[in-house]
Structure 1
Amino acid sequence: MSIDLSQFFEVFFEESFEGLDAMEAELLNLIPGEEDLETINTIFRAAHSIKGGSGTFGFNSVSDFTHVLETLLDQIREGKRELTAEHVNLLLKSVDCLRELLRGLQAEQEPNLEEAIALRIKFEQILGLNQAEKNKLEVTASPAQLALNTYQIDFKPHHHLFKTGNEPLYMISELAELGDLETQAFHNEIPDITDLSADDCFLSWRFFLNTAKDENAIREIFEWVEDDADLTIALCGGLFADDDAQVTAPDVVAETSNSTPVPAAVNVAVVKPIKKDTVVKASTPAAESISIRVGIDKVDSLINMVGELVITQAMLSQIGQQEITEATIASLQEGLTQLAHNTRDLQENVMRIRMLPISFVFSRFPRLVRDISQKLNKQVELKLLGEQTELDKTVMEKISDPMVHLVRNSLDHGLETVEQRLAAGKDPVGTVTLNAFHQGGNIVIEIMDDGQGLNTVKIKQKAVANGLVSDADELDDDEINELIFMPGFSTADEVSDISGRGVGMDVVRRNIQSLNGSVEVSSAAGVGSTFIIRLPLTLAILDGQLVRVAKHTYIIPLISIVESLQIDISKVSRVGKDLDVLRLRDEYIPILRLYSIFNHQGAIETLDKTLLVVVESDNQKIGLLVDDLLSQQQVVIKSLEANYQKVDGVSGATILGDGRVSLIVDISGLIKLSGLRKPGSQELIIESQANLEAS
């Protein structure tokens, strides 16, 4: 009987990526000369697990590369070699290399071995310097010393082995790497089907291994399960039987203590390492997480909520079978109230399932800060605050890249060199702080540095040179700082591989806005800068304001709304042919008529008989003309593009309580659709401002 190992591929990849994350985190904590043995052991165990798993599934490019990694780590943890900064840097590069190898295999691509080969050569050079004498001894050893030995290995796992996360298949594959291996499996302890548990192990094995390795090499494979299994290793005489023959165990020449009798064999299998990388079929891109781990408390809560819902449904069903009276109507209303309560609780608990601590995003930044600070020759301390703040998994996956760009900018442009900080009377070690916290129904992420702050003079000069603003424009510091989010803007004097390519900050803002979020910056010269990202907790549900336009209902995201008001016609000025502008306190707000944009008939067109909803996007305020304000409510977002087609000015749709479909307004898309971002549109508003002030 053959087992399709491909069913375990995704579990292997997930566990391997988690192992690499653990390796990276522990490597960043290592200080040469002050390393902790347990930290080294943690790194070694992660590498050892990846090596074993990759060997089992035939991913030899990964297992071969990890083997040399493991050898160096083993020497360090046994005190045979001192840890150096070079070792740490090399091991960190190896983590990156392994990630790329695994991602390639997961995406059904042939792995690119160029980097792996280069790193392996470096490892072998390091190891070779210490093993010269050992190699010399191996070359001059007599044939008797290099003779192969045959071992009988009896392996009987305790029933709870699977629950510890260990897999015998991995160990069998590692044994096969030591030499020629034959395997016998015993299943006489498997109970009746009524007593069978998929979580328990009822199998045991007897192996015959022909190898040049010693017993310690064999025991090392089973070191993770020594407390969860009975293991006997004996040196045997004789050789293997033919591949297809029933194996009779050779006479035992020497045997270890605490031997456990093993029943007669019922099957024989020859296990040999696969010599070629297996191609993996992946249904989703490797970069995207395809599963989520959920705490048992969340699952228990969800089960309880479903139970309450079932009880309420049974109560309503019973009421429906009774004669309709005032009493039954009262009971029905009470049941419907309870149903609404249960549904709301169930919704909240289901959403909690997708919530993960933002530490999953923050964990990638210690490595990023370390690498970039070394490249820039700057001393940087990274502080992480609010790591347990929870965020929807989908939002978390999409916010990572914008955060990386902002942190890179803080390191490159924000923080000064050691010499510059000392000259300014600052601590030579700069600080970058990532902070996350909940605020209302949103999550706020702050990226702060104590560097030199944004250079407003240089920013304005660049903006004028690029034609983004006029030299005559009077802009305060906040308005100047906002210019860095304009497309193609950069203050870098020369292009580097860290930042300064003239793209980025506008993409950061656009990506954050695609998540229905916003980003803003505050800065003080010589003190530092702070970028503030505001995001909804989830992309599945939106807090919205329902508005009526003609006979249609639209939803405006509450996060975008500044205020709603009735229009004072005396403060409205016409600009150009069809653009009205409202003077609101010290600002001038362009008025967009939704009925005109979406081509609706029958809407109220007289300005002083309508309502204006002032919204903000990209640091630009506009007013949306609507007939009436309806209720505020949470709505479930449905993709319009996936179910119909992309519609400009609309970000999605939802189904209202009466069954009607309502469209969700995309504020940024509306501004673009209206032409307010076209060349000359700002001049029209400035012209309106002059007209109103003159009147």
Structure 2
Amino acid sequence: MTIDLNQFHKVFIDEAHEHLGNMEQLLLALDIKNANLEELNAIFRAAHSIKGGSGTFGFSDIAELTHALETLLDKLRKQILDPTEQMVSAFLECCDLLNDMLQAHQSGNEVDESSIQTMRLRLLELADSDATSDESAFISSIESSEENEGFGFFVDEKTLPAAQEKSIKEEADGFGFFVDESELPAQKTNTVKSSTKQENAKAPAESSIRVGVEKVDQLINLVGELVITRSMLAQSASHLDPVQFEAIHEGLVNLERNSRDLQESVMSIRMLPINFVFGRFPRLVRDLTQKMNKKVRLKLVGEETELDKGLIEKLSDPLTHLLRNSIDHGIETPEVRSAAGKAEEGTITMSASHQGGSILVQIIDDGAGLNREKLLAKAREKNIPLSDNPSDKEVWQLIFAAGFSTAQQVTDVSGRGVGMDVVQKNIAEMKGQVEIESVAGQGTTIGLRLPLTLAILDGMTLRVGSEIFIMPLTRILESLQPTHDQLKTVSGQGRVVQIRGEYLPLIALYQILNLEPEVIDPEKGILVVVESSSGKVALFVDELIAQQQVVIKSLETHYRKVEGISGATIMGDGRVALILDIDKLAKMNSQVASSERTG
């Protein structure tokens, strides 16, 4: 019997990656001096599952390596050997190698045989096992199982006992020796009881299916189109008499409610716990602290907070950069910490929480904090333009300048100034912003504020001349019509507005985007105070129209990249409205003010 097992390979590889992830988490949490037997058993079971699956589907190289891994784990769980730091390091490196092997098999690439054999011998040496005899015994078992085309899982149905018994019954049919067992009273009763038990056993279990991400994306896109169509219908029906067309208006209200519920349900399919990202960082902290001779404890908070899958995938690199920076630049060595009256072990807290319509991810360390004077000196050295008396917030933002680094020497961890600017760029692409707070000698807090999803946006519709724009609602702090006394002009900085003792840059949107406005005097228009990465700014527009939920479309994909614009949407009347990029507009305004000052 020939069976094509390729159809099962993807499922096996996905499940193997999950087992390796669980193994890594358990290994990092393992107490070497007082190992928990149940945890060791759980690690062993994960390795055993990978070994069994790899042998079944013909991945003999993975099966051989996991057999050596299983040999050492078996001696640990039977308490023949005691776990050591060297063993945990070997286990973690073996997990990395197995992940690489799974990726190689999935993509059809070659696997480095020498690294596999080196790891096998290392594991068997730690297990005090005879590598030669162990290998020959295991390989012979694999070869014997491969002689069976079903790898021991699939056999000819004719060889099963039930099939053989059925064959005998059919041959003896009519002789009165064999009857249908279901006709016996006791058997009928047992059959009913058995089926009832099976139904009861299955009832509480949750069922799930694996669905491709592209199918979910297509569904989200269709829901987005439904939201746009609903807006168009509502726009058209707004001109109808509510009394005369009461049924149409009621139907539109129901359509809005149901489409919003549908939209939320579909969006929840893409939501994943942020622990998918957080879960990989305990290993990173362990490896870096050993390399740098530091003591750092990583504390994770809010791992269950859910975020869009697309954002989670893009969040990994920025968080990795920030964590490496906190360990390298933030946390001091044990000797320095002791001299400063701190505990030798530093603490880095990674937290995630919902705040309004966004997610706040924070990296908090209790290290040395940012040095204001050192940052300012480096900025002057690199000719980075700054105001005469910059605020702390402006100074902290210097660390995101390209090529900016205050490290005394370049290491393989950091020091080249190419990490933090990538962080800000990646977060900006996710429609998020970076916030920094720091106190010298006490530590630094870096916050990443992100939207819940990249597909739907709650925004404020505003107008400049004949153009309609969308402002992300989460960025708006307040709106006002200024008085003459609030408006000032500062030499070298352009126009500002005074709001409760605070001077904010005034950005005339029509000037930045080269538009024909209806109102030129800010006293007759509206100022919208928004939060940018560099601080608060006041955006001058003609009119605020309404709060509205919109579907985000990529302007770059359908047209081209436009400075100060992060995307586009289709309004209810069919017009295209542009979504404003607050951070970019603030930078464009400061560049204009800087050029006027130097000119």
TM-score (norm 1): 0.68
Q: Give the counterpart letter for 2:448 in structure 1.
A: I
Q: Contact (CA 8 Å) 1:416, 1:451: kept in 2 or not?
A: yes
Q: How is 1:419-458 mapped onto 2 (pairs within 5 angstroms)?
A: 419-458=335-374
Aligned residue in 1 for 2:179: none
The 1:262/1:564 distance shift into structure 2, 3 A limit, reads same
Corresponding letter in the other structure for 2:552: I
Q: 1:407 offset after TM fit, Å?
A: 1.4
5+ long unaligned stretches in structure 2 = 168-210, 234-239
Measured on the aligned residues, the alpha-carbon RMSD in Å equals 3.9
8 Å contact kept, 2:568–2:577:
yes
Query: Deviation of residue 619 (structure 1)?
Result: 0.5
Q: Distance in 2 between matches of 1:533 and 1:185?
A: 50
C-alpha displacement at 1:441, in angstroms? 0.8
Matches within 5 A, 1:88-167: 88-113=88-113, 115-127=115-127, 129-131=128-130, 135=133
- Paired with 1:73 and 1:45, the residues of 2 have a C-alpha distance of 9
Please give the per-residue CA displacement for 1:248-291, whole angstroms capped at 9, x wherever unaligned. Answer: x8xxxxxxxxx96662899xxxxxxxxxxxxxxxxxxxxxx965
Q: Does 1:363 align with 2:279?
A: yes
Tell me the CA shift for residue 374 of structure 1: 1.4
- Kindly tell me: are residues 536 and 43 of structure 1, through their superposed partners in 2, closer, same or farther at Cα, counting changes over 3 Å? same
Cα distance change on mapping 1:514 and 1:185 into 2, 3 Å: closer
User: 1: distance between equivalents of 2:151 and 2:165?
Assistant: 9
- Name the structure 1 match of 2:69: 69
> Distance in 2 between the 1:90 and 1:452 partners?
33
Alignment-derived partner of residue 330 in structure 1: 246
For residues 253-652 of structure 1, what are the structure 2 equivalents within 5 Å? 263=164, 291=213, 329-468=245-384, 473-568=388-483, 571-573=487-489, 580-585=494-499, 589-601=504-516, 603-652=518-567
> Is the Cα–Cα contact under 8 Å of residues 561 and 613 in structure 1 kept in the other structure?
yes
Contact 1:184 1:265 in 2 (8 A): no
Identify the match of residue 582 of structure 2 among 653, 658, 667: 667
Deviation by residue 1:570-629 (Cα, 9 ceiling, x = unmatched): 7354979xx952343566655544445545446444444333334443315554442211
CA–CA distance in 2 between the matches of 1:3 and 1:664?
54
Asked whether the 8 Å contact 2:570–2:576 carries over to 1, the reply is: yes
Q: Which residue of structure 1 aligns with residue 205 of structure 2?
A: none
Distance 1:638 1:460 in 2: 40
Counterpart in 2 of 1:205? 155
Deviations 1:313-338 (CA, angstroms, capped at 9, x unpaired): 9xx9xxxxxxx999883333323222
How many residues align? The count is 535
Distance 2:517 2:334 in 1: 67
Question: Is the CA contact (8 Å cut-off) linking 1:183 and 1:206 kept in structure 2?
Answer: no
Query: How far did residue 104 of structure 1 move?
Result: 3.0
Supply the distance in 2 between the matched residues of 1:360 and 1:184 (Cα, whole angstroms).
35
SS of 2:360 mapped into structure 1: strand
- 1:428 shift after superposition: 1.8
Q: Which amino acid aligns with 1:370?
A: R
CA displacement, residues 124-143 of structure 1 (integer Å, 9 cap, x when unaligned): 4334x4438x959x99xxxx
Which structure's residues are more often helix, by fraction?
A: 2
Letter in 1 for 2:41: N
Q: Which runs of 5+ in 1 are unaligned?
A: 140-145, 147-172, 187-202, 208-246, 250-258, 267-288, 295-301, 317-323, 688-695
Give SS of 1:633's match.
strand
Q: What one-letter code is carried by the residue in structure 2 that aligns with 1:535?
A: L
Contact kept in structure 1, 2:297 and 2:348, CA below 8 Å? yes
Could you tell which deviates more after superposition, 93-102 or 605-614?
Answer: 605-614
Within a 5 Å distance, the mapping from 1:184-195 to structure 2 comes to none
How many Å apart are 1:667 and its aligned residue? 2.7
Deviation at residue 70 of structure 1 after TM alignment: 2.1
CA distance 1:529–1:551, shift in 2 (3 Å) = same
Judge conservation of contact 1:185–1:206 (CA < 8 Å) in 2.
Answer: no
Matched, 1:51 2:59: no
Q: In the aligned structure 1, how far is the partner of 2:490 from the partner of 2:336?
A: 53
Percent of aligned positions that are identical: 47
Query: Hey, what's the Cα distance between the residues in 2 that align with 1:125 and 1:30?
Result: 21
What is the CA-CA distance between 1:45 and the residue it aligns to?
1.9
Conserved 8 A contact 1:516-1:535? yes
